[in-house]
């Protein structure tokens, strides 16, 4: 506790309480409408960063953040560090308050999500590790609504026009990380991308004489890509046991196969609209840009960790034969641009590697932040996100198990022109189990 | 520190509170094509059609297949909608306590039915005759609408005018004596086939009228019986029993109009005519359909011309017909109701018409219905000669017969 002189135990409990409230089932039941940012309409949805719960609390800076108990999904080279078999599952709930210059009102959307599932296995502890992971790649979860009315002969019919987006891409990963020597480690993973984007126009009339209409444009996408990672670590630079790691990962560009259907109605009562060629769907493809991320991390004996990351995704090279949000080849519409992100954070664990210390001292405290230029430029001006991240990682009596409570508070965009400013708060709860498996018994 | 904790809790609550999203961000969405619009599709090839449904049924409002609340009797000359002659046939049901009587206890028998409907000259007095039906008949059978059953000699007569709210036919004492045993016996259902009511042979309609008689007692809004008893009344010295009516049938013989109106279609219930038309919905394209309404303007001036009245049908049924397989396949689409604004239009909260047309619009390969028909289905309302004076479209007509479709956006 001497390392946190200005933060007393009551404050920690208050922070923990606030975070647990943000992800509590009660909050979900009360407020969830599964809507998020309007900006998720662009491209194939709002990109979701999932490295590890540790890196998420440190400004999503995890490309070089080595850990024996966390598997950082963004860089397979780090999977070689696994000392124990790990399993991690996380969920989040995010609230977004949006406002623009055109309306006096603001809207609030709340959406819950599964942040990740992964299983990591050390084939050779600290030298060779394998990981399987399931996580979101992108999310579409917006809604915009407008009230209006129409004259139907002698009647006036008031209605609400809803534009809604749902779905997104999932990412299934499997790969290996290998430590070549004390300094170098490399890794590779195969990524299967799949998912469905549904853009729905829903028109509700006030009068029960009018049916609610639903026209849904549903696009299924699937494809494969690969991620290559490398890390270099220098040891004992300033003190015994400290590490300075420089790492990078590259996810290759890929082409996703797509098919799109347009339906009217809902659930089982849907009518599929035929294409001009008489087909029930239109086939196409979308070309995802590469992802380059690099970073460095400095870690001292399990007590301090500092990480800094940069990310680049050239969405200006995105191509799609089917129109998507902000991109329509036939209409020469391209509002997508390169995405950049820089982030960094710090972690402190007062007890370091001392397992005999109390829970509060063995808890890791994390704080970070990031700045991101979004992959969209609706008015040819960039949309920037600034966010503060942080949280706690609380150990429990099970060896290697940690409960990570994280938050992300930030703003995105502005209210200039047609743009929207989002203020968002995201709470995450991740459970990380770590256990030694496959240990040969010495005695029977 | 407590303040900090409270602030954190308040922020979490404020951000997670349920609030309906407003129009924030609409400027980022291309929604030029998304607003609802109204498409009007004029009806074409409007003409009459011949219907064959007889005015037959059971005098029981709860009967699931053929409830029939009215029979028609009379004779009317109508150059614009066609002459009509109606004969009413009614059978009766023996009440359970009738079999406790002895035949010699029966003193008097009469048939009584409220008069609640008139088509034609309201100053007419109809000389009506009552006959016993000879031979079996069945209200669940399919007879031609103008079927006439064999009857015996005249048993009773009564003059009926609009001023009379109750038609009563007193059966003669000779008939009572001859049939008393049947009335109280166990073989009533087999031995008694009912009565016919028809105008006297010497009556010359000029222009005459057709009256409607109720076949069962009405009920008020609370479900309590109201109005006079309906049926065969059998009086003893101590009591009067009512034999409610059971099977009823109105045989209606009609003629084509000799001077049909030029501006309307002379559609009339009970006269074997309905309405048919076509509509080209292919021009709309595959769009979401929020509401479909058919609107048929009616010329209400035909409802009343001096003392001559023609009630306008309040209900009708819209049917879609496909001829593709050679045999017409009919699909019920909507109930139509005539409104105070002088139109016959959709009255169907279930939205069946909208849902059906949506399926047609969604499939460009589906040519839709070959035609539509409007008929006065018997199940909807009592037997009548109600008219549907549907105005024929003319060039420059502001609101011709039409489909009014409220769609959303443009075809995809």
- Once rounded to an integer, what is the mean pLDDT over residues B119-146? 93
pLDDT tier at B271, thresholds 50, 70, 90: low
From A110, which residue of chain B is nearest by alpha-carbon distance?
B16
Note the pLDDT of residue B124: 96
Q: Does the pLDDT of residue B133 top 80, yes or no?
A: yes
Q: Does the pLDDT of residue A31 top 60, yes or no?
A: no
Q: Which of residues 369-388 of B touch A (CB under 8 A)?
A: none
Return the closest-CA partner of residue A55 out of A45, A39, A44, A69.
Answer: A69
Percent over 90 (pLDDT), chain B: 58
Q: Which one of B16, B27, B399 has the shortest CB-CB distance to A100?
A: B27
Return the residue in B28, B347, B351, B367 with the most chain A beta carbons within 10 A, the one to mutate for interface testing.
Answer: B28
- Once rounded to an integer, what is the mean pLDDT over residues A400-416? 91
Cβ within 8 Å of residue B56, ≥6 positions away: B66, B68, B139, B141, B143, B247, B248, B249, B250, B378
CA distance B232 to B197: 13
pLDDT tier at B412, thresholds 50, 70, 90: very low
Q: Which one of A31, A144, A425 has the shortest CB-CB distance to B29?
A: A144
Q: Which one of A8, A108, A210 has the shortest CB-CB distance to B1?
A: A8
Note the pLDDT of residue B18: 43
From B361, which residue of chain A is nearest by alpha-carbon distance?
A273
Return the closest-CA partner of residue A141 out of A115, A163, A117, A167.
Answer: A167
Read off the pLDDT of residues B341-350 as tens digits, 9 standing for 90 and up.
Answer: 788 888 878 8
CA distance A54 to A115: 13
Read off the pLDDT of residues A319-375 as tens digits, 9 standing for 90 and up.
Answer: 999 999 999 999 899 999 999 999 999 999 998 888 788 889 999 999 999 999 999
Q: Does the pLDDT of residue A21 top 70, yes or no?
A: no
C-alpha triplet A408, A414, A419: angle, nearest 5°: 115
Read off the pLDDT of residues A80-93 as tens digits, 9 standing for 90 and up.
Answer: 999 888 999 999 99
Q: Does the pLDDT of residue B141 top 90, yes or no?
A: no
Note the pLDDT of residue A69: 81
Tokens 């064999």 locate to: B150
| Contact call for A210 and B290, based on CB within 8 A | yes
Note the pLDDT of residue B50: 82
Q: How many CB pairs under 8 A join A and B?
A: 199
Return the residue in A144, A158, A266, A322 with the most chain B beta carbons within 10 A, the one to mutate for interface testing.
Answer: A144
The interface predicted TM-score (ipTM) is 0.80
- Give one word for A39, left, alpha or beta, with left for phi > 0 and alpha for psi -120 to 50: alpha
pLDDT tier at A400, thresholds 50, 70, 90: low
Tell me which of A24-38, A60-74, B132-146 is least confident. Answer: A24-38
User: Which is more confidently placed, A436 or A173?
Assistant: A173
User: Helix count (H) and strand count (E) of chain A?
Assistant: 4, 23
What values do phi and psi take at A8, rounded to 5?
-85, 170
| Contact call for A210 and B291, based on CB within 8 A | yes
User: To the nearest whole angstrom, how far is the Cα of A211 from the nearest Cα of chain B?
Assistant: 5
- Residues paired with A291 in a beta bridge: A251
Tokens 């023609």 locate to: B310
From A208, which residue of chain B is nearest by alpha-carbon distance?
B349
| Contact call for B23 and A109, based on CB within 8 A | no
Note the pLDDT of residue B107: 95
User: To the nearest whole angstrom, how far is the Cα of B342 from the nearest Cα of chain A?
Assistant: 13
Q: Does B359 touch chain A (CB under 8 A)?
A: yes
Q: Which of residues 294-323 of B touch A (CB under 8 A)?
A: 295
Helix intervals (H) in B186-324: 188-191
Cβ within 8 Å of residue B360, ≥6 positions away: B281, B366, B368, B369
Q: Which of residues 391-410 of B touch A (CB under 8 A)?
A: 399, 404, 406, 408-409
- Once rounded to an integer, what is the mean pLDDT over residues B280-301? 90
Read off the pLDDT of residues B16-48 as tens digits, 9 standing for 90 and up.
Answer: 444 455 677 777 876 555 789 999 999 999 998
Which structure tokens are listed for A351?
């007890």
pTM value is 0.76
| Contact call for A38 and B286, based on CB within 8 A | no
Note the pLDDT of residue A8: 39
Return the closest-CA partner of residue A3 out of A390, A420, A365, A401.
Answer: A365
User: To the nearest whole angstrom, how far is the Cα of B314 from the nearest Cα of chain A?
Assistant: 20
Q: Which one of B24, B349, B351 has the shortest CB-CB distance to A98?
A: B24
- Residues paired with B90 in a beta bridge: B195, B248
- CA B325, distance to chain mean position in Å, is 29
Tokens 């200006």 locate to: A316
Q: Are A283 and A292 in contact (CB under 8 A)?
A: no
Q: Which one of A100, A105, A205 has the shortest CB-CB distance to B290?
A: A205
CA distance B31 to B34: 5
- CA B90, distance to chain mean position in Å, is 19
CA distance B331 to B334: 9
C-alpha triplet A83, A86, A88: angle, nearest 5°: 145
Note the pLDDT of residue A52: 93
Q: Are B332 and B384 in contact (CB under 8 A)?
A: no
Question: What's the mean per-residue pLDDT of chain A?
Answer: 87
- Residues paired with A197 in a beta bridge: A167, A219
C-alpha triplet B90, B95, B98: angle, nearest 5°: 115
| Contact call for A105 and B24, based on CB within 8 A | yes
Q: Which one of B21, B28, B351 has the shortest CB-CB distance to A41?
A: B28
Read off the pLDDT of residues A73-125 as tens digits, 9 standing for 90 and up.
Answer: 999 999 999 988 899 999 999 999 998 887 777 888 888 888 889 999 999 98
CA distance A250 to A239: 31
Q: Does the pLDDT of residue B222 top 60, yes or no?
A: yes
User: Which is more confidently placed, B25 or B143?
Assistant: B143
> SS3 for A268?
helix
Q: Cis peptide leading into B207, omega within 30 of 0?
A: yes
CA distance A141 to A40: 6
pLDDT tier at A279, thresholds 50, 70, 90: confident
User: To the nearest whole angstrom, how far is the Cα of A154 from the nearest Cα of chain B?
Assistant: 11
Q: Does B163 touch chain A (CB under 8 A)?
A: no
Helix intervals (H) in B88-236: 173-184, 188-191
Note the pLDDT of residue B285: 83
Count CB atoms within 10 A of the CB of residue B389: 26
State how far the alpha carbon of A178 is from the alpha carbons of A39, A68, A74, A184, B65, in Å: 38, 14, 15, 9, 80
Q: Which one of B28, B34, B404 has the shortest CB-CB distance to A38?
A: B28
């Amino acid at each position: 506790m001497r390392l946190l002189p200005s933060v007393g135990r009551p404050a920690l409990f208050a922070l923990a309480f606030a975070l647990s409230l943000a992800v509590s089932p009660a909050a979900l039941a009360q407020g969830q409408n599964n809507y998020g940012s309007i900006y998720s309409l662009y491209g194939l949805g709002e990109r979701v960063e999932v490295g590890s719960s540790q890196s998420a609390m440190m400004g999503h800076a995890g490309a070089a953040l080595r850990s024996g108990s966390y598997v950082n999904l963004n860089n397979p080279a780090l999977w070689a560090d696994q000392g124990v078999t790990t399993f991690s599952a996380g969920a989040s709930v995010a609230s977004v308050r949006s406002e623009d210059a055109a309306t006096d009102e603001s809207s609030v959307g709340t959406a819950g999500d599964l942040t990740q599932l992964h299983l990591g296995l050390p084939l050779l502890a600290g030298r060779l590790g394998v990981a399987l992971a399931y996580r979101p790649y992108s999310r579409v979860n917006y809604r915009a609504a407008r009230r209006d009315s129409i004259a139907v002969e002698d009647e006036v019919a008031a209605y609400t026009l809803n534009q809604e987006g749902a779905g997104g891409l999932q990412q299934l990963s499997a790969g290996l990380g290998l430590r070549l020597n004390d300094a170098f480690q490399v890794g590779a993973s195969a990524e299967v991308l799949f998912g469905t984007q549904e853009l729905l126009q829903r028109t509700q009339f006030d009068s029960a004489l009018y049916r609610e209409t639903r026209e849904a444009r549903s696009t299924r996408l699937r494809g494969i890509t690969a991620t290559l990672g490398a890390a270099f670590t220098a040891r004992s630079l300033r003190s015994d046991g400290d590490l300075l790691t420089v790492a990078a990962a590259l996810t290759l560009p890929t082409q996703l196969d797509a098919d799109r259907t347009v339906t009217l109605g809902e659930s089982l009562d849907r009518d599929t609209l035929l294409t001009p060629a008489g087909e029930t769907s239109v086939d196409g493809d979308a070309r995802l840009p590469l992802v380059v991320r690099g970073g460095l991390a400095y870690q001292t004996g399990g007590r301090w960790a500092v990480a800094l990351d940069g990310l680049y995704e050239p969405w200006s090279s995105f191509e799609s034969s089917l129109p998507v949000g902000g991109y329509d080849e036939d209409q020469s519409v391209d509002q997508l641009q390169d995405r950049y992100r820089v982030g960094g954070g710090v972690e402190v664990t007062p007890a370091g590697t001392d397992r005999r210390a109390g829970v509060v001292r063995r808890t890791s405290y994390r704080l970070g932040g990031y700045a991101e230029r979004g992959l969209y430029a609706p008015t040819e001006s960039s949309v920037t996100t600034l966010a503060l991240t942080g949280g706690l990682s609380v150990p429990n009596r099970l060896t290697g198990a940690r409960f990570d409570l994280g938050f992300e508070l930030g703003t995105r965009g502005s209210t200039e022109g047609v743009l929207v400013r989002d203020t968002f708060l995201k709470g995450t709860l991740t459970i990380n189990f770590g256990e030694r498996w496959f240990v040969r018994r010495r005695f029977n | 520190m407590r303040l900090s904790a409270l602030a954190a809790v308040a922020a979490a609550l404020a951000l997670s509170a349920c609030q309906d999203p407003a129009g924030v961000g609409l400027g980022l969405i291309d929604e030029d094509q998304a607003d609802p619009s109204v498409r009007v599709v004029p009806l074409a090839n409007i003409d009459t059609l011949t219907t064959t449904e007889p005015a037959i049924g059971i005098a029981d409002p709860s009967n699931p297949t053929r409830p029939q609340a009215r029979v028609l009797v009379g004779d009317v000359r109508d150059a614009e909608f066609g002459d009509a002659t109606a004969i009413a046939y009614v059978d009766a049901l023996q009440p359970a306590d009738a079999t406790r009587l002895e035949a010699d206890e029966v003193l008097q028998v009469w048939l009584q039915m409220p008069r609640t409907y008139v088509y034609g000259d309201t100053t007419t007095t109809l000389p009506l005759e009552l006959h016993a039906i000879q031979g079996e008949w069945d209200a669940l059978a399919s007879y031609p609408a103008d079927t006439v059953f064999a009857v015996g000699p005249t048993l009773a007569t009564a003059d009926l005018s609009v001023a009379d709210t109750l038609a009563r036919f007193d059966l003669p004492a000779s008939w009572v004596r001859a049939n008393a045993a049947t009335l109280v016996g166990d073989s009533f259902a087999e031995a008694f086939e009912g009565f016919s009511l028809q105008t006297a042979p010497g009556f010359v309609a000029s222009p005459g009228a057709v009256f409607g008689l109720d076949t069962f007692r009405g009920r008020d809004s609370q479900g309590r019986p109201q109005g006079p008893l309906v049926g065969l009344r059998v009086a003893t010295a101590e009591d009067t029993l009512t034999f409610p009516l059971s099977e009823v049938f109105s045989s209606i013989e009609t003629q084509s109009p000799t001077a049909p109106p030029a501006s309307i279609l002379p559609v009339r219930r009970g006269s074997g005519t309905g309405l048919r038309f076509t509509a080209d919905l292919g021009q709309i394209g595959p769009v979401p359909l929020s509401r479909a309404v058919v609107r048929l303007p009616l010329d209400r001036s035909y409802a009343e011309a001096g003392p001559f009245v023609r009630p306008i049908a309040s209900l009708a049924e819209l049917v879609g017909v496909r001829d593709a397989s050679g045999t017409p396949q009919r699909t019920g689409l909507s109930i139509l109701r005539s409104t105070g604004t002088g139109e016959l239009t959709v009255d169907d909260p279930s939205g069946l018409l909208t849902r059906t047309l949506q399926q047609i619009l969604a499939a460009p390969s589906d040519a839709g219905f070959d035609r539509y028909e409007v008929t006065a289905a018997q199940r909807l309302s009592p037997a009548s000669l109600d008219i549907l004076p549907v105005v024929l479209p003319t060039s420059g007509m502001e609101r011709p017969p039409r489909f009014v479709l409220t769609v959303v956006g443009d075809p995809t």
